[in-house]
Amino acid sequence: MPDLPPVTGDQLVELDIPASSEYLALARLVVAAAADIDPLFVAERIDALRLAVSEAATNAVESYRGRGDGERIIIRCNLGEEQIAVEVADRGEGFDPDDVAELGEEPLLGREGGFGLPLIRSIADESQILPGPDGTAVRIVVYTHPQDDPS
């Protein structure tokens, strides 16, 4: 996994799953259940989190394409005050996140796939893509309420 400090905290949940699409539903379920512990999280925010984690985990699975069985994905989530932070890490081949187009940009239009990172960036309140020589980590933060929401 990338050499960086993991998402940590008192409410840390860590999931270590095989890098297989069959486990993506489990990842979504665990992260959504962790967020649902906080009664301040509204359903729409949990849905946004579920989608962002699904896209990050799907990208992690894809990073192992052609490498065979035995690869793993680590998902860490920490429920903090009015937010949840999630990290999805893999040991797949890295990439330059600056080369990924944003939603609505010409390189994405008219093709299938390639929407994961732009989608994560658009629905998460904060996101970081941290590629390294030992894999990639995607960090996602979703607040209980959108940042522009005064409640």
Give the span between the Cα atoms of 11 and 88, in whole angstroms.
Answer: 17
The domain in which residue 68 lies consists of 12-143
For 12-40, the pLDDT digits (tens) are 899 999 999 999 999 999 999 999 999 99
With left for phi above 0 and alpha for psi between -120 and 50, is residue 104 left, alpha or beta? left
Strand, coil or helix: what is 45?
Answer: helix
Cα-based angle 5, 10, 11 (whole degrees, multiple of 5): 95
- Report the CATH number at residue 66: 3.30.565.10
Residue 148 lies in a domain: no
The verdict on residue 68 lying in a domain is yes
Q: What is the pLDDT of residues 97-127, one digit of tens each?
A: 565 555 455 554 444 445 678 888 888 999 9
Tell me whether residue 1 is in a domain.
Answer: no
* Gap between the Cα atoms of 32 and 51, Å rounded: 10
73: DSSP letter: E
Looking at the domain assignment, is residue 123 inside a domain? yes
116, part of any domain: yes
Residues 140-149 pLDDT 10s: 999 987 766 5
Confirm whether pTM is higher than 0.85: no
Our count of domains for the chain comes to 1
Alpha carbon distance 37, 122 (integer Å): 24
30: tokens are: 């665990």
Residue 31 lies in a domain: yes
Domain assignment present for 64? yes
Residue 150, in any domain of the structure: no
